[in-house]
Structure 1
Amino acid sequence: MDASFVIKDIRASVHTISIQIPLLSEKIAGFGREEQTEFVFCEVETAAGVTGIGMTGQFLPHAVVETLHTHILPLVRGMDVRDVEAVHSRVWWKLNARAMTGVISSALSCLDIAMWDIHGKGVDRTIAGLLGGARKNVPAYCTFGFPQYDLDLLAEAAKLHVANGFKGLKLVVAVDKGGWREDARRVRKVRDAVGDDIDIMIDANYLFNPVQAKQLCRAIEDCNITWFEEPLHQNDARAMHDLRRSTRIPIAGGQNEGHRWRLRELVEKHAVDILQPNCCFNGGYTETRKAAHLAQAYNLPIANGGGWPLFNMHTMAGLMNGWYVEWHLGIVSIGEAFFKDAPVPVNGEITLSDKPGLGLTVDYDAVRSTRVKP
């Protein structure tokens, strides 16, 4: 067995960061919402000293680190990173035979992304290339519409990002004290600011009940919304199907689902028009590829929700039905801090580097300075 591909060690740690949002004078703790203050950085090292990296988000990050160190490493040490089905099978049947999600899915995401990174470095191919190499460039939309903006600043920020080349913009909804009516005013403000040729998406992050979501849809149907992301509590597939039937606005979801069976439910119940597997939460590229192929069988596109564009851009570039990457300003700040050579969108498109694996060079000074002490 080639030592360059044999798992020797896993190192994971929790980090935190504060971000600067355009047009706001003060930094915001975390990277988007109040609960988004910590995330996990992971390295997998092989017997030959080759290192791959992975990351996941804010959901119980300390438990994710403990899972990687205490439970996953003893299972996978000595295995070949290219044998992704064997690694997943061992983790599933030893640690997750009942197909739970959450911590185990996030931990497996870190491991899997790092394994693909190592594999790509070993064969001098990008992860997008290993996934299928469908394209070199992927469109990016900018998630900018944070609740900290008032209406006028929201419109000004929208114009700023369009001037910077973005052709798609996303707003957060369902968090304003004014409820869906205020959300409708904010959506209209952005549409009036940017005109008819810019894609506008909205994201409720599971926070509406079906009545509220229908009321918002009814109020903004003439605004030509590209998609309404995760509108309902618990990603309730039955209720999302009902909402989808009642509106002309396309429904998107799946970014935080932990495995293919939850994503399959959204597809089979006709709950979504766009499926959103996110490799940083659902088990990595191995599971995301299966979700993308499932979507292909139903003629559905996949798009990135849930952020982490520097990882998910490989999914969207590698797979035939890949579409938009989410340039989430908060999570992008993490990428800018952690990686010396992270690509940036130009005229609304990201061109993937030819560097192997993830194509990212870690800034270890940033890793050390942002680490949360255990």
Structure 2
Amino acid sequence: MKIKDIRVSIHAFKNFVPIINKPIEDDYRIICEIETDDGHVGFGMASRFLWHGVAGIVAHHIAPAIMGMDPRDLELVHARLQPILSERGQMTGINLSASSCVDLALWDLIGKQSGRTVAQLLGGHKDYADAYVTYGFLAYSTDELIEMARRLIGKGHTRLKMLVGSKGGVVEDARRVRMVREAIGDDILLAVDANESLNAENAMRLCPMIQDYNIAWFEDPLRRVDARDLGMLRKRTTIPFSAGQMDGHVLRFREWVEHDAIDIFMPNSMYNGGMTETRRVAHLAQAYNKPLSDAGGGGIWCLHHVAGFRNGTLAEIHLGSEQVEEQMFIDAPKAENGRVAIPNAPGFGVTLNRERLKETLVQKYL
């Protein structure tokens, strides 16, 4: 089995904040399809940032380098790409996103060729993942936050995540968290996420204001999730910390571990270099007895690593990304009572909606 063709395209999807029907900015996705000489086709994806740059890297630098290779030789593929994507040091930014896009397509291919799901290739611990819902957008008023939480609970969800870092400051953040907790009761898991928006001083102020509300975890509480500051902050609160959605390659996680900075590993295979890199992160998490979750709108891609590894805990359902996947795939998996089943098909188990991709096409490469 040899790679004979690589295609990459950029697509822009529309989605909306539920209840208030406010449009979210266009969600750009870069789709890479890899075809082999025996007729198998796998696809992967990167998301959101510098989409033309990512697609250009795939088309002009990665594709020529791996054409003719066996897609199952993942270590050999990445060894060939390393000096191209990062001559020195650790790959970062769009180099990692481009690698992610291609690597996910390779895993999809390997799964289809072998007749196994990616979750099974990773270890097959479960054929499902319990899920939490990222829903608490800053665009919501407090009443809308509560209303949306109640709607989700009515659908069987028991794990919710809301954003902090509002324009009103940490006092307003704490008030919103308190109001939601009082409205949903103590039996519902509630997490918060700052999306790296707080400086150390404000994060230090916010944690004691909310830690009595039984916060399941605080995700990306600090700008650049600085390992030293995060480790210092973690020692001053009982709230567990999580990180890893945007730059969660294995060396970054090693840095957080060395500073005793996080409790929950949250890699995202669309940004960190792909499922091959997430597998390295998962093994590091196991070595340090840390749970493995996901964040950052990883959808179907991250669902598989949470199910595949025995330390996998929760997969994310992001209300924005969920809308995109419903448009992108004709068979996007749905949560039932807070749990998402791994699709019963090889690879990542989903099928691209070709008609919708024609409508959303921004540019095609190769």
Q: 1:207 aligned to 2:205?
A: no
Work out which of the residue numbers 176, 193, 196 in structure 1 matches 2:186.
Answer: 196
Higher-strand-fraction structure: 2
CA contact (8 A) 1:172 1:203 kept: yes
Paired residue for 1:288? 278
**TM-score, structure 1 as length reference:** 0.95
Paired residue for 1:139? 130
Tell me how large the CA RMSD over aligned residues is: 1.2
Paired residue for 1:33? none
Counting only pairs closer than 5 Å after superposition, residues 308-323 of structure 1 correspond to structure 2 as: 308-323=298-313
Distance in 2 (CA, whole Å) between partners of 1:129 and 1:25 is 38
Deviations 1:344-371 (A, max 9, x none): 1100001112210010011011111112
SS in 2 for 1:29: strand
Shift of 1:258: 5.2
Deviations 1:274-327 (A, max 9, x none): 011111111111110010100110000011111122110000000111111110
Deviations 1:208-240 (A, max 9, x none): 011101111111111000000011111100000
Counting only pairs closer than 5 Å after superposition, residues 20-59 of structure 1 correspond to structure 2 as: 20-30=16-26, 37-59=27-49
Shift of 1:270: 0.8
SS in 2 for 1:340: coil
CA contact (8 A) 2:61 2:84 kept: no
Deviations 1:22-81 (A, max 9, x none): 211343333xxxxxx422122111122321111111121110000000000111001111
Q: 1:123 aligned to 2:119?
A: no
**TM-score, structure 2 as length reference:** 0.97
Paired residue for 2:230? 240
User: What is the letter of the counterpart of residue 64 of structure 1?
Assistant: V
Counting only pairs closer than 5 Å after superposition, residues 219-230 of structure 1 correspond to structure 2 as: 219-230=209-220
SS in 2 for 1:372: strand
Distance in 1 (CA, whole Å) between partners of 2:136 and 2:239 is 19
What count of residue pairs does the alignment treat as equivalent? Answer: 363
Paired residue for 1:34? none
Query: Which stretch has the larger CA shift, 186-195 or 40-49?
Result: 40-49
Work out which of the residue numbers 249, 258, 263 in structure 1 matches 2:253.
Answer: 263
Shift of 1:255: 1.0
Unaligned runs of 5+ in 1: 31-36
CA contact (8 A) 1:278 1:288 kept: yes
Counting only pairs closer than 5 Å after superposition, residues 1-374 of structure 1 correspond to structure 2 as: 2=1, 6-30=2-26, 37-98=27-88, 99-174=90-165, 176-257=166-247, 259-373=249-363
CA contact (8 A) 2:156 2:338 kept: yes
Percentage of matched positions with identical amino acids: 45
